[in-house]
Amino acid sequence: MIRIIHGESIPNLPWEEKPVDCRDVIWRSKNNPIITRDAIEDSNSIFNSAVVPYNGEFAGVFRSDDTTRRQSLHAGNSKDGIHWDINDEKIAFQCNDDEVGSFTFGYDPRVCKLEDAYYVTWCNGYHWRPTIGIAYTKDFHAFHQLENAFLPYNRNGVLFPRKINGNYAMLSRPSDNGHTPFGDIYYSESPDLVYWGRHRLVMETTEGWQGTKIGGGPTPIETEEGWLLIYHGVLTSCNGFVYSAGAALLDRDQPWKVIYRTKPYIMAPREIYEIAGDVPNVVFPCTALCDADTGRMAIYYGAADTSVCLAYTTIDDLMAFMKKHSC
């Protein structure tokens, strides 16, 4: 089994065995969607959300678009990673600067265990312009907001779970103010999670399912061979955008250097709950939990901008698929 360098044992990781007739590297949960669009009061949809193991159970930060279609972030918890209690009230971030703390919208969070805290990154509306917000929590009750990481416009901020070359590290996708018809993945470093620089291009769009734009997905998983990154790619079809998922392996010391990258997608909209919804044809991974003991992986993803779903693979199978089908 491929050894995970920066990981933990998750004995209660959600898991379903691969169906005997499944030919794909990733298979979907029979319980999908695990979080429906109306799971909290006044929600129009709940999707593109992030979870982590926490105190032997699970905790997370969830995107909810309410019935006014305002985007906000909510905390939640679960004993098994499948059945969730999500707070009706949105997270009240604590911030020392009202200019930063009074953001206008928040969506598509990621959660990363980093040192002694859990860091949340999300698309943060600074004067209605999207950038990357950062906050930390130690108990999923009190959330302390830091400075926004980058100038607008930016999306898909994904932290690495440890410092690299003595600095904190993040992936992001510079963008525009609309439903961005372009986008590549960039790497940045910071000495303090406030000032960011040393920007490097990681990956550009190519063709097919990742020909329009790409963006980082879950927190990268550190293996003995490099950083395993699951990311999303977008195709522009005659019927609009189609969001799928791929995988890449990044160098451990210079993560802007790509070792492998899947040419075919690893997962694309196929089931009715991924094809039909507020935004059809979307598979958007935000979390990949991997048990360091077994290599089993549970992937949480948003489906059709409507619900939260769950899929499975193993790190060995995904790495083998990526190496065999690399660009």
Is the Cβ–Cβ distance between 75 and 66 less than 8 Å? no
pLDDT value at position 103? 87
> What CATH superfamily is the domain 33-324?
Glycosyl hydrolase domain; family 43 (2.115.10.20)
In the structure encoding, which two tokens stand for residue 308, read together?
Answer: 């939260």
Measured distance CA(44)–CA(68) in Å, rounded: 8
Percentage of the residues of the chain whose pLDDT score is greater than 90: 95
In the structure encoding, which two tokens stand for residue 82, read together?
Answer: 């499948």
pLDDT at 167 over 90: yes
pLDDT value at position 6? 86
Residue 324 φ/ψ, nearest 5 degrees: -70, -35
In the structure encoding, which two tokens stand for residue 186, read together?
Answer: 């960039």
Q: Compute CA distances 175 → 109, 172, 185, 217, whole Å.
A: 17, 9, 10, 16
pLDDT at 25 over 90: yes
- The 10s digit of each residue's pLDDT in 36-84 is 999 999 999 999 999 999 999 999 999 999 999 999 999 999 999 999 9
Beta carbons within 10 angstroms of residue 253's beta carbon: 10
User: What value does the mean pLDDT of the chain take?
Assistant: 97
Return the amino acid letter for 319: M
pLDDT value at position 1? 86
